[in-house]
Every structure is written in C-alpha cells, then in structure tokens.
Amino acid sequence: MKVMIVVTHLLGTGHLSRALTLGRAFRDDGHDVMVVTGGMSAPQLDSRGMTLFGLPPLRSDGTNFTRLLTESGVEADNAYHTARVTALVKAVESFQPQVLITELYPFGRRSLATEFDAALNAASALPKRPVILGSIRDILAPPSKPAKAERADDIVTHFYDGILVHSTESVTPLSVSWPVSERLAKRLHYTGFVAPTLPQPHPDALGQGEILVSAGGGSVGQPIFRAAIEAARQMPNRRWRLLVGGTDAEARIDELSRQTEETSVILEPVRPDFRQMLPRAAASVSMCGYNTAMDILQSGTPAVFVPFDDGKEVEQGLRGQSLSGLSAIDVLESQALSGDALAQAVERVVADGPRAQQDFGFDGAAQTVRIAKRLLEQRT
C-alpha cells in the first residue's frame, strides 16, 4: 500500500512529529510511505524508512498564522505559494498514493487551503482515486464563526472518506472543541491516542533526578525558560536541564545563559533522546501540546504544564484542564508564571511522586493503519 501524508507545521513541530509517528506505523506494517512536509526542517525527528519530500518551507509569524514567512524571514509571495502548490500536485501525481492523509486540514491551516485543495483535486483525478483521510488531534482550535465549521463540513463531505480523531471518545470527544454535525459524525473514526512506543530509560542515566524543561521544537517558550532559571535559584539541590528548540536555538541559549550564573542549570538544544530521559527525571516542565501530553501520560513523570495561550490559542488550555485532575500534574497558567510560582508547582508534583503508568489507549498509530486498510479493502 502506498501512503502519502501531507503536513505543514508552522510554529512548533508537533504536527510533523505526529505525522511521522503515523508514517512509522505504516512503514512497520510493510507499506511505502511518503511524508510531504511544508514546514521548517526538524532533523531531530525520526523519518527513517520513509520518503521525506519537502516543499519550499514556511513558518508562521509568531502566532499570526495568516502571515507566513519563508526560511529567510520574509513574507511568502504569490510566486512562492504557487511553487508549493506545483510541487505538491506533482508529488501526488507521481507517487499516486492509495491512501492520502492530510494533517489538520480542513479543520485548520485555512491559510494553506489553496495547496491542500489542489492536492485533494489531484488525488481525486488519479486513475485510481485513493482513500482520503483527515488526521486531527484530540482538541482543535474551536472555529471563530459557524461558517468555518460549515466550510470544513463541505470539504469533508466532498473529498474525505473518513476523519481520524486521535483520541479516545470516552476521554476526549471531538465535540469538546468542535461542533460535530450529523454529516461529520458519520465520517469520524476514533483511533485512540497517537504516541511512539515508550523507550527504555536512557542507558547513560541522563536526566536522572533532573527537572527537564522543554517547549517543543519551535522558537517559543522563552518565558518558561526564564521562569525556570529563577525557580532553579530557589531549588539549588536540583539540577535543571533546559532544552531549547527552534532554528534560532543557539541565539536563544546565548541570551538565557547570561541569567544562569550561580544556578544548577544546563542549557542545550532539543535532543532526540529526550523521551529516554523523561522516565528518569524528577519532574517535567513544559507546554501542553498533544505530543508532550502523550509523553507525560506514558512515562508517569510528575509534570507542570504551562499551556501555550498566545494570541487566541485555547487548545493547550483545554487539554491542561482535562489532565489537571490526575495525580502529580499541575497546570500553571501563563499569566501566573513566575520563578516563585513554578518552584512551588514543581515541589508539589515531585512530592506527589511518579504516577502509576496507565493505558489510555496509546495504539492510535497502529489503529490508524488498520482503519486505512479496511477502508481501502472496502473500496476494492
């Protein structure tokens, strides 16, 4: 089976990370996988055994997802967008997938609707139309007006065979964040949560007893890192390891390093063995993106979440609320973030101790493969 996954991550790397997790599940089941990525390079993510095809890359201007920038930081013009559309359509036509999966669209990425619609039309015009599926996380950014939900419904009805909701309906139904119409409900497939297999703890014991502070793979989270440095001053008996992401990580680390004098803080770029470090850590401090939440739920590591809420972002706050009732998890709103507040929150979750590992249904990637195969078999 030939599987194409189309994804553009604009701020952090969460969407790409989840798409690659799906890709690895298809790869491991013996399928030919192409991931078409339209965001900035993220070499720390594992794409082995798949074809990774990059469009001319884009990123958002902070949380302004309507102003898209090229790698050099200038606003993408019509010619740049046209080049992306051309490359994407050619990829669809040459690869000729039997299954086409779009990440987030049409429930988001409306600023890239032209290229996604072009890919959907190109796929529909292939000699053998592929099974077309949408891939969405547990919680979406709610539509700001009914017309946006109606337009998404129209696109789903016209193009899609199914929408993969990467959660468990009993835990987080899509209706928590998105109006589920009757016609949309007919196409929903709950997969369970999508997460890589929990790795063995780090063989070199990295992370042992540390406070691990992360903010994803994008250029965000500087307030969390600054607060962590101040919190570290109040907890001198704990080593704090700050993992800084983004293409400007080196400059951001340099800025932060000026504040770390007389602290037990290690500053370094994001690292691919982070998930191996997590089970050994005393606690994690992070935002509350989908992939990070899955890491915390799987590992049982005590955690303080600082949900990302810049602009009109509400997704992480909703997810944080849903997890705040679990033991050894604290949620600290960004407006309340300070060194004192963070130190107190870390002390609380460490005192609560590690949680017993629970099975929240983390086989969403394997279940996605099963759903796609079943829908393709039904067509043939």
**Contacts with 65 (C-beta within 8 Å, 6 or more apart), sequence order:** 10, 11, 111
Task: State the maximum Cα–Cα separation within the chain, in Å, rounded to a whole number.
Answer: 66
Strand partners of residue 235: none
Q: How far apart are CA 119 and CA 289, in angstroms?
A: 27
What is the rounded average pLDDT of the residues 337-345? 97
Q: Which residue has the tokens 């965000």?
A: 220
pLDDT (0 to 100) of residue 180? 97
Cα end-to-end distance, the chain, whole Å: 13
Task: Tell me: pLDDT of 331 over 80.
Answer: yes
Structural domains for the chain: 2-194+362-379 (3.40.50.2000), 211-352 (3.40.50.2000)
Which residue type sits at 379?
R
Mean pLDDT score of the chain, rounded to an integer? Answer: 93
Q: How far apart are CA 86 and CA 65, in angstroms?
A: 22
Alpha helices in 42-109 (DSSP H): 78-95
Query: What's the pLDDT band for 65 if we cut at 50, 70, 90?
Result: confident
Q: How far apart are CA 12 and CA 46, in angstroms?
A: 16
pLDDT (0 to 100) of residue 378? 93
Residues 172-190: tens digit of each pLDDT: 899 989 999 999 999 999 9
Phi-psi region of 363 (alpha: psi -120 to 50; beta: other; left: phi over 0): alpha
Residues 117-138: tens digit of each pLDDT: 999 999 999 999 999 999 999 9
pLDDT (0 to 100) of residue 36? 98
Residues 98-109: tens digit of each pLDDT: 999 999 999 999
What is the rounded average pLDDT of the residues 141-156? 95
Percentage of residues of the chain with pLDDT beyond 70 = 99
Model-level pTM?
Answer: 0.84
What is the rounded average pLDDT of the residues 14-43? 96
pLDDT (0 to 100) of residue 210? 97
Query: What's the pLDDT band for 64 if we cut at 50, 70, 90?
Result: confident
Task: Tell me: pLDDT of 312 over 90.
Answer: no
Lowest mean pLDDT among 74-88, 122-136, 279-293, 298-312: 298-312
pLDDT (0 to 100) of residue 209? 95
Beta strand residue intervals within 120-222, DSSP E: 131-136, 162-165, 188-190, 211-214
Residues 30-58: tens digit of each pLDDT: 999 999 999 999 988 989 999 999 999 99
pLDDT (0 to 100) of residue 198? 79
CB neighbour class for 356 (10 Å; exposed up to 12, middle 13-18, buried from 19): exposed
What is the rounded average pLDDT of the residues 206-232? 91
Task: Tell me: pLDDT of 376 over 80.
Answer: yes
